[in-house]
Amino acid sequence: MNRITEHIDIWTAAQTPKTNGAGRGNGSARNSLHGIKKLRELILELAVRGKLVPQDPTDLPASDLLEKITREKARLIKEGKIKKQKPLPEISEDEKPFELPAGWEWARIGDIGHDWGQKTPENDFTYIEVSAIDNVAGIVKSPITLKSSEAPSRARKIVQVGTVIYSTVRPYLKNICVIEQKYSPEPIASTAFAILHPLQKMPGRFIAFYLKSPVFVKYVESIQTGIAYPAINDKQFFGGVISIPPLAEQHRIVAKVDELMALCDQLEQQQIESSDTHQILVETLLATLTNAADQKECAKAWQRIANHFDTLFTTEHSIEQLKQTILQLAVMGKLVPQDPDDEPAIELLKNLANARDKWLKENAKKNKECATMQRKLKKLKSANPPFSIPATWECTHLIQLTRMLVDCHNKTAPYVEKGIPIIRTSNIREREFHMYDVKFVNEGAYNYWSRRCPPTPQDIIFTREAPMGEAAIIPEGKTYCLGQRTMLIRPMHEYISNKYLLLALTEPHLLERASEYAIGSTVKHLRVGNVENLNIPIPPLAEQHRIVAKVDELMAICDALKARLNEAQNTQVKLADAIVEQAVA
């Protein structure tokens, strides 16, 4: 026990990242509190093994209790109050998961109580369905009153005050509670519950704790059937074994578990409040960077933050926020200083426009995409900067920066086993191609799907939907086909760094601004025209390269922070698991 309490502040602080949907902007500010979860499991494990409270040699042994239960059950059957059940098999030594303290006994769950049978409601009734259970608090949270005509086919099991109910089907296998209040109209539970009403005034809370304990969870996982919705049946539930302490000790265990779980609640709340406070602090300090008047003021604010890196960026979410802030500063002109010797962006864009228009004119007759580009460019109005930018910068529409900007062929390509990879929206995340679950097309399909503009290395592929706003640069030596809901962006490379443009396309606020124009009731997506008209802040070319280099440097620091954090979190998780395992060994 000393091992548990000596470093409890360390191992109970163990956290694991929550899983989230893929795509930009889906980070979670709060991790799963793994250490607290393991502490709760440990409390239950110690409770049902007889290691949580001391045994009292003056307690009547559990064997005496089980004899009384047997006699009471026989009486209830004789009086016709409950139905006679088939005898359950004796418990073999292999079924006993651990040794019991003196005075304890093993029993089948079905031997310590009974169910109340089933009935079809004839009048209004209180319906308890599996989703109505708060499995953390172990209470009925949201029962509903139904008319008999509204009764679901699964609403037939009778329950009373003191009845233990256990959901036998996922995703609610851990929905376990004791009916602790009298309901009016009469309560009826779903047939997705196994029902147990304990005899001899055994506390249902002790039984519920056992059903939630790792030892019973392990039993359930060893016998459950089904893949999508694993489940056990009533026979398997009632055939499970349960450790039975003396009745007086059961009450002491329930009181101690309640006391310790309340402490877990406090510890959990403290961690949540600490996490929330930390999150507010990080957000406030990062805002001083983006709110800085210019690069010099931003550099001063950055130095203040840099002095406290180790205390500020201690969660994956805070590191992700730092990354997003870096991208934002990059396109606001606050990440690197401006150089008065750089050619201003206005001159850069004039030269770009002349070169682009000349190329489009020369190729318009043989390539209709060039003619389409010319028509779209002529209709453009001036682009307004989305925020204040340095004097040497300009703002322009995305299409004005490109030699070609085309949408995908909006049909699903015929896939083949091997061939040319087709890039779908799921293959682009965080400015990189993720080549898992890759689909392929043959050369004929590639030529047809790429007839508007074959993707080439250094082009950018941008997603319009599912999710929108992801982008990546095609690497050298790779041939990719453009998948559905993607667009091909070919910058004027002599004037625009594709790496800078990639940053500008994936900085967080561009996606926020673009989302204003997104359409779709279920899955939001951008129209082709919305993408073409995205407002992009453009620095001088030399500054573009300096920005890219600085972003690469800072992102490497963020990745190193994240790697160290993951290593520390993994160590804490392993420590928590090891301590719990040793405590019950």
Q: Where are the domains of the chain?
A: 1-45+253-338+540-585, 60-245, 345-539
Is the pLDDT at 237 greater than 90, yes or no?
yes
Is the pLDDT at 490 greater than 70, yes or no?
yes
In this prediction, residues 362-389 reach a mean pLDDT of 92
Task: Give, as one character, the DSSP assignment of residue 118.
Answer: B
User: What pLDDT score was predicted for residue 2?
Assistant: 47
- DSSP for 210-249, please give it: HHHSHHHHHHHHHH-B-SSS-B--HHHHHTSEEEE--HHH
Q: How far apart are CA 394 and CA 348, in angstroms?
A: 9
Positive/negative CA dihedral, 245, 247, 251, 254: positive
- Where is pLDDT greater, at 517 or 132? 132
In this prediction, residues 396-401 reach a mean pLDDT of 96
260: part of which helix (H) or strand (E)?
helix 247-290
pLDDT in tens, 212-235: 999 999 999 999 888 778 889 999
Confidence of residue 579 (pLDDT cuts 50, 70, 90): low
Q: How far apart are CA 268 and CA 60, in angstroms?
A: 37
User: What pLDDT score was predicted for residue 10?
Assistant: 53
CA distances (Å), origin 302, targets 282, 331, 498: 12, 16, 27
In this prediction, residues 311-333 reach a mean pLDDT of 91
User: What pLDDT score was predicted for residue 22?
Assistant: 47
User: What pLDDT score was predicted for residue 423?
Assistant: 96
User: 533: number of CA atoms within 13 Å, CB side?
Assistant: 19
Q: How far apart are CA 320 and CA 409, in angstroms?
A: 34
Positive/negative CA dihedral, 306, 309, 312, 317: positive
Is the pLDDT at 356 greater than 60, yes or no?
yes
Whether the CB-CB separation of 402 and 489 falls below 8 Å is answered with yes
Other Cβ atoms closer than 10 A to 39: 24
- 60-245 and 345-539 have identical folds: yes
Question: What is the topology classification, in CATH, of domain 60-245?
Answer: Adenine-n6-DNA-methyltransferase TaqI; Chain A, domain 2 (3.90.220)
- DSSP for 315-356, please give it: SHHHHHHHHHHHHHHHHHT-SS---TTSPPHHHHHHHHHHHH
Provide the Cα torsion 536, 542, 548, 551; round to 10°. Answer: -100
Other Cβ atoms closer than 10 A to 253: 22
- Helix, strand or coil for residue 149? helix
pLDDT in tens, 140-187: 998 999 999 999 988 899 999 999 999 998 777 778 999 999 999 999
User: What pLDDT score was predicted for residue 351?
Assistant: 97
Amino acid letter, residue 208: A
CA distances (Å), origin 358, targets 355, 374, 383, 498: 5, 10, 22, 21
345-539 homologous superfamily: DNA methylase specificity domains (3.90.220.20)
